[in-house]
Amino acid sequence: MIERKARIFNIQKYNMYDGPGVRTLVFFKGCPLRCKWCSNPESQKRQYQVMYKANQCINCGACASVCPVGVHRMSPDTGLHEFVEGSVCIGCRRCEDACTPSALSIVGEMKTISELYDVVDEDRSFYEMSGGGVTLGGGEALMQPEAAANLLMVCKQRGINTAIETCGYAKPVEVMKVAEFTDLFLFDIKHMNSDRHYELTGVRNELILKNLRNLLQNRYNVKVRLPLLKNANDSEEEISALIEFLTPYRDYKNFKGIDLLPYHKMGVNKYKQLGWEYPIEGDPSLSEEDLDRLETWIKKYNFPVSVIRH
């Protein structure tokens, strides 16, 4: 039997931010949103991508000589490395292997569910000591719903706590399929106003809110997470709209509270490596005073709230 595979771009061990206890975070490649502040831009596209550190390149031409599809070439005018417009990386990693100064890395790798489970299971003792487990992130794991459900099912059947970090933009049937094997949803809310949500992420939020409502009403464990940017989604009006939406579920045992995720710049250099412009001008970071203000607003309505600092 052919085993299902998932396309991932990273596995992070000893994670302490994305679910309870010590966790292994499996990053799925592909995302339906294009959040302007995305800290993992290499996660957005499903296909393989080349990340390139120009300051480490010695222009030796080794990558161009081994690439079977002509992604790389040496400029006939300058003799410097350049990418061939319209070329598509097939993920063979020959250029990565040939690049002695490690200026190139290929993003994206196909892994079977068994291979992923074996990596997760390596740290079972840490999960047992801390109440941790596995968390699927991305990108967006629900863009590969069958693979996500299979991995979560195997982990849950073998006694490993499961969580998924999601933007919630997926078909409700796919969300519910995954929910059967998920101990906790870490559910992002970017903005409550659909027009503004579209401006910030490229999609509207009606489907996202529908899925959040379905999970809460069907008694699946959910923690709501708010990625926060100054003057984008930190207003009292925005927080009040969120509180109004969540108030009917505040006393549900499966509603696990709200996490505030302050903007950070950890992904900025990745845009340059992908050859992309960083879409945010200025610095939308929130001060400690801003975070205290938001936390106070939310606590005023008797909601459990925490600030998650990476």
- Segment 52-95, tens digit of pLDDT: 999 999 999 999 999 999 999 999 999 999 999 999 999 999 99
Q: Which two tokens stand for residue 238?
A: 């925005």
Please indicate, yes or no, whether residues 161 and 294 belong to a single structural domain of this protein. yes
- What pLDDT, on the 0 to 100 scale, is given for residue 3? 85
Domain final position from 107, 130, 156 = 107
Domain-terminating residue out of 65, 89, 107 = 107
pLDDT average, residue stretch 173-196: 98
Total length of the chain: 310
Same domain, 140 and 179: yes
- Tell me how far apart the alpha carbons of residues 187 and 205 are, in angstroms, rounded to a whole number: 13
Q: Do 129 and 75 belong to one domain?
A: no
Residue keyed to tokens 């596209």: 45
What single letter denotes the amino acid at residue 2? I
**Average pLDDT value for residue range 165-172:** 98
| 224 and 276 belong to one structural domain | yes
What pLDDT score was predicted for residue 221?
Answer: 98
pLDDT at 1 over 70: no
> How do residues 230-288 score in pLDDT, each as one tens digit?
999 999 999 999 999 999 999 999 999 999 999 988 889 999 999 999 999 889 999 99
Chain segment 203-212, per-residue pLDDT in tens: 999 999 999 9
Sign of the dihedral through C-alpha 142, 147, 148, 149: positive
Residue the block writes with tokens 């499996």: 26
Count Cα neighbours of 1 within 13 Å in the Cβ-side half-sphere: 5
**Residue 96 and residue 146 in one domain:** no
The CATH number that applies at residue 233 is: 3.20.20.70
Q: What is the CATH number of the domain that holds 56?
A: 3.30.70.20
Mean pLDDT of 100-124: 97
Q: What is the largest CA-CA distance in the chain?
A: 67
Q: Is the pLDDT of residue 158 over 80?
A: yes
- Read off the pLDDT of each residue in 181-210 and give the average, rounded to a whole number: 98
25 and 93 both lie in a single domain = no
User: Do residues 98 and 117 share a domain?
Assistant: no
Same domain, yes or no, for 145 and 286?
yes
Read off the amino acid at residue 246: L
Residues 291 and 167 in one domain: yes
- CA distances from residue 253 to 19, 83, 167, 240 in whole angstroms, order as listed: 17, 53, 22, 22
Q: Which domain holds residue 82?
A: 49-107
- Mean of the pLDDT values across residues 37-55? 96
**pLDDT the model gives residue 309:** 79
Question: Could you tell me if 204 and 217 lie in one domain?
Answer: yes
Residue 239 shares a structural domain with residue 288: yes
Q: Taking the model in full, what pTM does it have?
A: 0.95
| 31, 152: one domain | yes
Which of 60, 81, 107 lies at the terminal end of a domain, its last residue?
107
Contact 7, 108 (CB under 8 A): yes
Number of domains in the chain: 2
Return mean pLDDT, the chain.
Answer: 96
